């Protein structure tokens, strides 16, 4: 591995300062479960590595009346053990418990998962259906973007020169809202998704009608994909197998997968249909309070 300068800022100001003086190769270090491996493989050769673990804003985990603020560098383990996240956002637990094994979850972060921008990243579809906003900070101030617009290609994001992801703002679920994430991998654990899917749904208090539904799919396009065409198909419709199948059809049509060592185009398209159906049914169950 090429050598580099290791920096450990203790405030956001210090971090952004170090980043702007770190040259164009400077990289942020959260859990390092992508970065260290990429550096060892020579795929990334930063001259400066800036550790985010001591910057308060990136490690915040707090709730107000309407929103959860989840710092970019909060680990999957902390997410999985937070009783409020368990209660309000089981879909985040679905995916955070699947990232690697125990050892990886103890380091890996949701911010790192998003910024690494892998098409197969497991937390991104759930963040999308939960309407997470990415809070970005840069030399020209702050901005907020929906997570579905964050990744622009494999390993590519909308972050511009010296911008960083600070945190996510995620609205607390409404009444009768549920969300669910599911993936398909060749083994039970420790592998990369052949396809994954997340869904969120708000249902009427009768428990029979859909008010709003969102679907996102992964590993079937250059970036995790928000399938906006599903929304009109779901809203106002009864909770019924044919409605859910119709939504899954649309997701399958939106998928633009490739064939690689893990799966073929046809398999991925088929899986998208199956996983979206299951994710929607899982979300409905949770919205009904059955989970």
User: Which residue ranges make up the site for ligand FAD (CB under 6 A)?
Assistant: 27-35, 37, 52, 58, 72, 98-100, 104, 107-109, 111-113, 115-116, 121-122, 159, 164-165, 190
Give the separation between CA 160 and CA 164, rounded to whole angstroms.
Answer: 8
Candidates 189, 206, 261, 289; binder of another protein (CB under 8 A) is: 189
Q: 33 CB contacts (<8 Å, ≥6 apart)?
A: 100, 104, 107, 108, 112
The DSSP letter of residue 154 is T
211 lines the binding site for another protein (CB under 8 A): no
2 lines the binding site for another protein (CB under 8 A): yes
Give the separation between CA 171 and CA 86, rounded to whole angstroms.
Answer: 15
Least distance to ligand FAD, CB of residue 202, Å: 26
CB distance 243 to 237 below 8 Å: yes
Q: Please, what's the b/e burial string for 83-95 (b: 16 or more CB within 10 A of its CB; e: otherwise)?
A: eebeebbbbbbbb
Least distance to ligand FAD, CB of residue 163, Å: 8
3 lines the binding site for another protein (CB under 8 A): yes
CB distance 268 to 182 below 8 Å: no
Q: Using CB under 8 A, which residues numbered 51 to 70 contact another protein?
A: 51, 53
CB distance 242 to 234 below 8 Å: no
* Helix, strand or coil, per DSSP, at residue 243: helix
Least distance to another protein, CB of residue 8, Å: 8
Site string for another protein, 109-148 (x = CB under 8 A): ----------------------------------------
Instruction: Look at the block and give the residue holding tokens 């197969």.
Output: 120
Q: Which residues bind another protein (CB under 8 A)?
A: 1-6, 8, 29, 31-33, 36-37, 39-41, 49, 51, 53, 77, 100-104, 106-107, 188-190
């Amino acid at each position: 591995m090429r050598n580099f300068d290791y920096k450990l800022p203790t405030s956001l100001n210090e971090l952004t300062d170090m980043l702007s003086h770190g040259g164009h190769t400077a990289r942020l270090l959260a859990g390092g479960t992508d970065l260290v491996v990429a550096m060892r493989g020579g795929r990334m050769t930063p001259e400066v590595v800036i550790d985010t673990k001591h910057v308060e804003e990136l490690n915040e985990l707090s709730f107000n009346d309407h929103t959860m603020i989840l710092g970019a560098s909060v680990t999957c383990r902390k997410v999985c053990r937070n009783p409020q996240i368990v209660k309000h956002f089981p879909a985040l637990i679905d995916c955070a418990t699947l990232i690697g094994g125990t050892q990886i979850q103890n380091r890996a972060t949701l911010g790192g998962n998003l910024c690494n921008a892998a098409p197969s990243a497991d937390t991104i579809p759930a963040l999308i259906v939960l309407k997470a906003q990415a809070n970005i900070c840069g030399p020209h101030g702050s901005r907020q973007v929906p997570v579905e617009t964050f990744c622009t290609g494999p390993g590519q994001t909308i972050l511009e020169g010296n911008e960083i992801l600070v945190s996510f703002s995620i609205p607390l679920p409404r009444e009768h809202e549920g969300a669910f994430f599911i993936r398909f991998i060749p083994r039970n654990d420790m592998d990369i998704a052949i396809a994954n899917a997340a869904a969120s749904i708000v249902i009427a208090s009768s428990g029979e009608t859909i008010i709003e539904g969102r679907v996102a799919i992964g590993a079937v396009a250059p970036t995790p994909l928000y399938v906006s065409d599903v929304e009109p198909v779901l809203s106002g419709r009864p909770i019924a197998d044919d409605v859910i199948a119709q939504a899954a059809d649309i997701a399958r049509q939106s998928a633009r997968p490739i064939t690689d060592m893990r799966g073929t185009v046809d398999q991925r398209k088929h899986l998208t249909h199956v996983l979206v159906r299951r994710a929607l049914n899982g979300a409905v169950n949770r919205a009904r309070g059955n989970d």
